[in-house]
């Protein structure tokens, strides 16, 4: 469940669209003339660069994810054509593991404690817009989710590349949990990305 950027879900955890840039206040000719040279210079410096200006695009979440992963999917398919499926799968899993390991460590360093409770608490409300889930178990040593809708799975499955999505998103979930705290273990044998009816994420505290 994580890309990029998420997330980088990245993997999945932090979803964004192009942020609207702050616009300068409009001045009438008389007011503009009244500005001192220093004030005018300061105002000009506040103007956003053209690359940061608001594109005024209103996209659905699905459209945003389609745009976000379109070129990535094309590249992954090109690698499959060049390297073959097995080598591409190995490469995608390796890069996803590295990305989510780094993310888990960074996330752990930014919280007051990297306890089991801290890790699983994000799934109680942090993914409402991108997942449809049910909490099956929630104790001090076990936390289980049943995910029946996932925007990442939706994106890759509609592109008919669920196997690429699994390697690029789902595979990193194991490294994410362990790198946040090596006493947290993810156990899972079903994912939407692989064509199952749900993802059964079960996090176990081994402390």
CATH number of the domain bearing residue 75:
3.30.1380.20
Residue 54 in domain? no
Among 188, 113, 178, 108, CA closest to 144: 188
Residue 24 has pLDDT above 60, yes or no: no
Determine contact, residues 197/190, Cβ cutoff 8 Å.
yes
Please give the residue range of the domain that contains residue 80.
61-205
Residue 88 in domain? yes
pLDDT tens column, 48-80: 888 887 767 788 999 999 999 999 999 999 999
Residue 13 has pLDDT above 90, yes or no: no
- Where are any strands of DSSP class E within the chain? 131-138, 142-150, 184-187, 199-205
Residue 51 in domain? no
Residue 173 in domain? yes
Residue 199 in domain? yes
Residue 177 in domain? yes
């Amino acid at each position: 469940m994580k890309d990029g950027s998420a997330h980088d879900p990245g993997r999945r955890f932090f979803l964004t669209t192009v942020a609207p840039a702050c616009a300068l206040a409009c001045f009438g000719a008389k007011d503009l003339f009244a500005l001192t040279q220093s004030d005018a210079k300061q105002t000009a410096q506040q103007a956003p660069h053209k690359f940061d200006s608001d594109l005024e695009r209103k996209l659905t979440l699905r459209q945003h994810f389609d745009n976000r992963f379109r070129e990535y999917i094309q590249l992954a398919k090109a690698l499959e054509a060049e390297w073959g499926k097995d080598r591409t799968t190995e490469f995608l899993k390796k890069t996803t593991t590295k990305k989510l390991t780094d993310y888990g460590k960074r996330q752990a360093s930014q919280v007051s404690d990297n306890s089991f409770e801290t890790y699983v608490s994000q799934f109680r409300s942090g993914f409402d817009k991108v997942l449809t889930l049910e909490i099956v178990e929630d104790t001090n040593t076990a936390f289980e989710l049943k995910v029946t809708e996932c925007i990442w799975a939706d994106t890759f499955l509609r592109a008919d590349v669920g196997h690429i999505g699994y390697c690029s998103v789902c595979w990193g979930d194991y490294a994410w949990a362990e790198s946040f705290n090596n006493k947290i273990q993810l156990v899972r044998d079903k994912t939407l990305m692989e064509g199952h009816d749900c993802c059964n994420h079960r996090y176990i505290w081994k402390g």
